[in-house]
Amino acid sequence: MKALLAWARQPTSVAGLSAAFGTFSALVLHQISWVQAAPLLAGAIISIALPDNTVAKADAQGLTENLIAKFRPTVAMK
Q: pLDDT by residue (tens digit) across 5-48?
A: 877 788 888 889 999 999 999 999 999 999 999 999 999 998 88
Reported as a single tens digit per residue, the pLDDT across 41-69 is 999 998 888 877 777 778 888 888 888 88
Cβ-Cβ contacts under 8 Å for 41 (sequence gap 6 or more): 19, 20, 23
pLDDT score of 74 more than 70: no
The whole-number pLDDT of residue 35 equals 95
Is 73 within the bounds of a domain? no
Cβ-Cβ contacts under 8 Å for 50 (sequence gap 6 or more): 12
- Find the domain containing 18 and state its range: 2-52
Q: Is the pTM of this model over 0.75?
A: no
Total of domains in the chain: 1
Is 61 within the bounds of a domain? no
Is 23 within the bounds of a domain? yes
Is 77 within the bounds of a domain? no
